[in-house]
Structure 1
């Protein structure tokens, strides 16, 4: 029986598991991650307001793994050997006949003073820290922003910051405290959210103006301090800083000979293969894929890439040519805690629908629908 190893328990990894089984693969499946759990990162935006708790978003994968006949190894990947046929881990080597790397990306924490900022999408602990800090504040300035990877601008996850921003505004208004706070949005980009499309950028900036959110755009970031954000265009005070830096590859990639993109991600082809490493695939934030410069780093895109990777690996193990590719598709609802703007983009069209309550409830319904498959 063939042995397949999957690194990670995020969107791409779990979708790869499902797709492999759906493709009729009867291989011995091993998933490697520190814990047998899945954290639904899109729901982190609702933690500061109390719409979600950390445990609402943490899914124990024991039953899912049992249904899918998966062996979970609680470990961290540390390297590769034998041309990819051996995954080195913190608990020892794991041999495979096929490998899918879906271990996500890593935020670049090199900006001076970045320790003074909270990175919201680092996980549940970060979202809870935001909740607790805001609850303890009687007023002041909350600054929120994001930046990209200077060597690979597409390696970024800026979308959630708009949701934290608008969600914070909604939260403070519902609490009757908004007049005591100043919200500032900052980013080096002159037109933030450009990957969503021109119409979306205009809509986001209009929404910021409507909500009386100040902006500091188009200036390269220089540093953070406990009470200040400094850019090449000047500095401004901030009592709480939320910042999403650009992304790069996992640290363990450095201990391998896997080909890297300029931004440090794993290089991939249109079939999600890692060039030069037979039957080694990558999906999600860990990879750099061919496509338009607006290709998103989001769970939906990771799912599409993981399906292609799993289909191709299954084909190879059955002696067939791997031909599956993935469509490039951005699909999201920019949520505000009680409404949302729907954005869709492919290489053929770009749709932006204005904010309405229906989209907020659709986002919550999707969360329920998506998570039930892992419970």
Structure 2
């Protein structure tokens, strides 16, 4: 009740904007942005850190534009020792420079005890004062799945094989946020991964219907890729089995991310053609 999440229902984005506008009108305050995992998660794939970083850096740029940087304390917090490490060592190694550039303090490695109306309390009873807390929790399966007779893992996601077929159910497939991903260091629940899994599932089911023995796997298609928007630019982050990189894109990266959002929305709603492979 004391936090807001950009990964919640769409209306939360407007709530965050309104709360931020109130603080800016006041002219000072403590803003804390963070994310956490799910302690029961055996795969490490349910952490949603990217949107938290984007929100954090965009708020910093907004405060700079309003000439209020010195009036606000902007802090990034996380219970793990190395938040963002799943992006790869190269990307994680540059995060310190990002935090410094955007005037962000950090608070890592302490489990969260509770959120209050004006603070975050950690397991050692240390406290971060907070006028606005933006927090993305680790994912877990929906009740409709966990109360069904489908096999689920400790976090409530459907157990599948590499063809996306549900364990012990020959005619049921699970993809995206419903499914438990294969646990690779470069695995994460992202939109493009859900699309990959959908393609794999449909192809395999179609082959079954046609009596074709060939099956394809989503395991060898897994990778992390994102354009991390920072408000005044962006960085392309990629990690796969054989390579990883981070490519900063000052200024143009921000507009690239906005253009991608426009294209993705309109192509999905069939308002325009879709670029092959995208």
TM-score normalised per structure 1? 0.67
- Counterpart in the other structure of 1:337: 231
User: Which residue among 338, 358, 370 is the counterpart of 2:252?
Assistant: 358
Tell me how far 1:145 sits from its aligned partner. Answer: 0.5
Mapped to 1, the partners of 2:136 and 2:162 lie a distance apart of 28
Checking the alignment, whether the CA contact within 8 Å between 1:311 and 1:322 is kept in structure 2 is no
Mapped to 2, the partners of 1:196 and 1:202 lie a distance apart of 10
Checking the alignment, whether the CA contact within 8 Å between 1:270 and 1:289 is kept in structure 2 is no
Tell me how far 1:175 sits from its aligned partner. Answer: 2.0
Checking the alignment, whether the CA contact within 8 Å between 2:186 and 2:223 is kept in structure 1 is no
Gaps of 5+ in 1: 1-114
Mapped to 2, the partners of 1:320 and 1:279 lie a distance apart of 15
Which stretch shows the higher mean deviation, 289-298 or 184-193? Answer: 289-298
Answer yes or no: is 1:119 the counterpart of 2:39.
no
- Counterpart in the other structure of 2:107: 216
Alignment of 1:89-238 (within 5 A): 115-137=1-23, 138=26, 139-152=28-41, 153-233=44-124, 234-238=126-130
> For residues 271-300 of structure 1, what are the alpha-carbon distances to aligned partners after superposition, in whole Å with 9 as ceiling and x for unaligned?
111111122111111111224033111111
> For residues 137-173 of structure 1, what are the alpha-carbon distances to aligned partners after superposition, in whole Å with 9 as ceiling and x for unaligned?
1220011100001111321211110000001001111
Checking the alignment, whether the CA contact within 8 Å between 2:47 and 2:138 is kept in structure 1 is yes
Mapped to 1, the partners of 2:233 and 2:158 lie a distance apart of 36
Tell me how far 1:356 sits from its aligned partner. Answer: 1.6
Answer yes or no: is 1:254 the counterpart of 2:254.
no
Please state whether the residue corresponding to 2:235 is helix, strand or coil. strand
Answer yes or no: is 1:274 the counterpart of 2:166.
yes
Answer yes or no: is 1:302 the counterpart of 2:188.
no
Which stretch shows the higher mean deviation, 128-137 or 198-207? Answer: 198-207
Answer yes or no: is 1:367 the counterpart of 2:261.
yes
Checking the alignment, whether the CA contact within 8 Å between 2:45 and 2:181 is kept in structure 1 is no
Checking the alignment, whether the CA contact within 8 Å between 1:334 and 1:343 is kept in structure 2 is yes
Please state whether the residue corresponding to 1:216 is helix, strand or coil. strand
Gaps of 5+ in 2: 272-278
Checking the alignment, whether the CA contact within 8 Å between 2:78 and 2:107 is kept in structure 1 is yes
How many residue pairs match? The answer is 261
Checking the alignment, whether the CA contact within 8 Å between 1:227 and 1:239 is kept in structure 2 is yes
> For residues 42-83 of structure 1, what are the alpha-carbon distances to aligned partners after superposition, in whole Å with 9 as ceiling and x for unaligned?
xxxxxxxxxxxxxxxxxxxxxxxxxxxxxxxxxxxxxxxxxx
- Counterpart in the other structure of 2:182: 290
Please state whether the residue corresponding to 1:161 is helix, strand or coil. helix
Tell me how far 1:322 sits from its aligned partner. Answer: 5.4
Answer yes or no: is 1:349 the counterpart of 2:243.
yes
Tell me how far 1:131 sits from its aligned partner. Answer: 0.4
Tell me how far 1:240 sits from its aligned partner. Answer: 0.6
Please state whether the residue corresponding to 1:354 is helix, strand or coil. strand
> For residues 110-129 of structure 1, what are the alpha-carbon distances to aligned partners after superposition, in whole Å with 9 as ceiling and x for unaligned?
xxxxx100011113211100
Please state whether the residue corresponding to 1:209 is helix, strand or coil. helix
Mapped to 2, the partners of 1:359 and 1:310 lie a distance apart of 34
Tell me how far 1:204 sits from its aligned partner. Answer: 1.7
Please state whether the residue corresponding to 2:62 is helix, strand or coil. helix
TM-score normalised per structure 2? 0.90
Tell me how far 1:245 sits from its aligned partner. Answer: 0.5
Tell me how far 1:371 sits from its aligned partner. Answer: 2.1
